[in-house]
Amino acid sequence: MRLRRTATALLVTLSTALALLSGAPPADAASPGPDFPVASTTAPDGRVLFTDQAGRVVEPRGFDVDKYDETTEADLRAIADRGFTLIRVAVSWDRLEPARDHYDAAELGNLRRLLDWADRDGLLAVIDFHQDVYGPAFGGGTDGIPPWATRDDGLPFVPDPTNWFNGYFEPSVQAAFRHLYDDPDLRQRQSEFYTRIARELRGHRSLLGYDLFNEPFGPVTGDPTDPAALAASSAALEQGRLALMYQRLIAAVRSVDRRSWLFVEPTVLVGEGVPTSLPGFADPRPGAPRLGYAPHFYDTAVEDGADWNPGDGFIQAYTAAITAYPRRHGMPLLVGEWGPPNPATPGNRELVRRQVAAMAGFAAAWTMWYWCRGDGGYCALDPAGKPAPGDAPVFGPYAVALAGLPTVERWSADSYTAAFTSTGGWTELAAPPGARLTVSGGAAEQVRAGDGRIRVRVARGARVTLTVRTG
């Protein structure tokens, strides 16, 4: 059943309209979850946004799910039930190929099963080729490059129990990265690994694509405590060794998968306001390129345990650092990781609010680190499964798909607003029961499908503003 309003404004309180609007959506309305993004387009504010086959703007939002074999079917169902549409799945070369030429069948099966669940739940998934301090040879658990592909030149490694990130500056870790970038046999092995994983996972409806290398790092010339030396080393890495790695890995995935999006990451110095020096990349797939940019959005002081200082300029410096590159190269920007370890403190609560608001101005998609229950420790949920204190803005309403190019978009803890000229298709909004929808500027037809979505269709050519409020 459909309800039509021909006035210039429509206000529907979903909790009271549920009985009238509980039928299935019309055949041409969006199915649960976003359609697969097939292309990109540039919004008036300069953002490069995903678009689906019907030309709608698709804006995935969701969470990192960390270790795929610790994520359950119930976790993915809960993410989808909350209105989210995207997961980022950390995988490790060490766990999938623990011995040279030996792939772990159980690990591959776990990964395929997780994507099967995502297929059923209407989620999109980005596979994150993850590493922390290179790999387990340096105390990184099983996150990263396997010991058999680790060459440290016999140099020392002394872990810093107060700051795990300092491990990147150890001589042995520096050597391991240098060999990974430079040694022909390791280059070949890494490319073969990426090709194998892409072959295993292709064909999943949920597979949005691949984040090609998590938080890349490499040899540092000079004093790593000197910001200028660190920035110069980062630029040299991005212009040289890392750029060549990305070219190889793009070719490796494309040899078996022409559908997926491939995302390149800059070094973590973007969090310090240092723009990337990565070059543009060519996509060998036929048709329009499907390449994206995937920086992380962390404040270093907060990562080190401080409460965020709203006067430190972090949001402004970060936004300035990450904006130009994806717009210059026509790449959608996916914020693959963001969020403070403890959002309950006053400064960090404000940080979450401002990050959500800021991403409305530059991001095509985002995944928060990460989906788990607990007290602090980055968990997005409290022990009872409710949004963690301070994380309410993350769970606010947003557009899964917009039938028009947004000229205005705003997010907050309890509202979402978009202004656009309608293309005549269905706009799909994620919002909890009880949300209120206002449509102004044109005739509208609104449908409730009973799955945490509002679907609204506006006449083609109408300039409208949609607002969803939950507060």
Q: Which two tokens stand for residue 397?
A: 């309403």
Question: Measured between alpha carbons, how far is residue 319 from residues 273, 347, 362 in Å?
Answer: 8, 19, 8
**pLDDT tens profile 409-436:** 998 888 999 999 999 999 999 988 788 8
Structurally, the chain folds into a number of domains equal to 2
Provide the residue count of the chain: 471
Peptide bond preceding 168 in cis form (omega within 30 of 0): no
- pLDDT 10s per residue in the chain (471 long)? 333 333 333 343 333 233 223 333 444 444 556 799 999 999 999 999 999 999 999 999 999 997 777 899 999 999 999 999 999 999 999 999 999 999 999 999 999 999 999 999 999 999 999 999 999 999 866 589 999 999 999 999 998 888 889 999 999 999 999 999 999 999 999 999 999 999 999 999 999 999 999 999 998 888 888 999 999 999 999 999 999 999 999 999 999 999 999 999 999 999 889 999 999 999 999 999 999 999 999 999 999 999 999 999 999 999 999 999 999 999 999 999 999 999 999 999 999 999 999 999 999 999 999 999 998 789 999 999 999 999 999 999 999 999 999 999 998 888 999 999 999 999 999 988 788 888 988 667 766 655 778 889 988 999 999 999 987
**pLDDT tens profile 286-323:** 999 999 999 999 999 999 999 999 999 999 999 999 99
Same domain, 117 and 260: yes
**Residue 191 falls within a domain, yes or no?**
yes
349 vs 65: CA distance, rounded Å: 22
Same domain, 209 and 276: yes
Same domain, 13 and 123: no
Range of the domain at 205: 60-390
**pLDDT tens profile 10-39:** 343 333 233 223 333 444 444 556 799 999
pTM for the full predicted model? 0.93
404 vs 206: CA distance, rounded Å: 24
177 vs 198: CA distance, rounded Å: 23
CB 269 within 8 A of CB 229: no
Q: How far apart are the first and last CA of the chain?
A: 27
**Residue 139 falls within a domain, yes or no?**
yes
Q: What 8-state DSSP symbol labels residue 258?
A: S
Same domain, 288 and 323: yes
Same domain, 419 and 377: no
SS3 state of residue 254: helix
Same domain, 385 and 332: yes
Which of 355, 390, 425 terminates a domain? The answer is 390
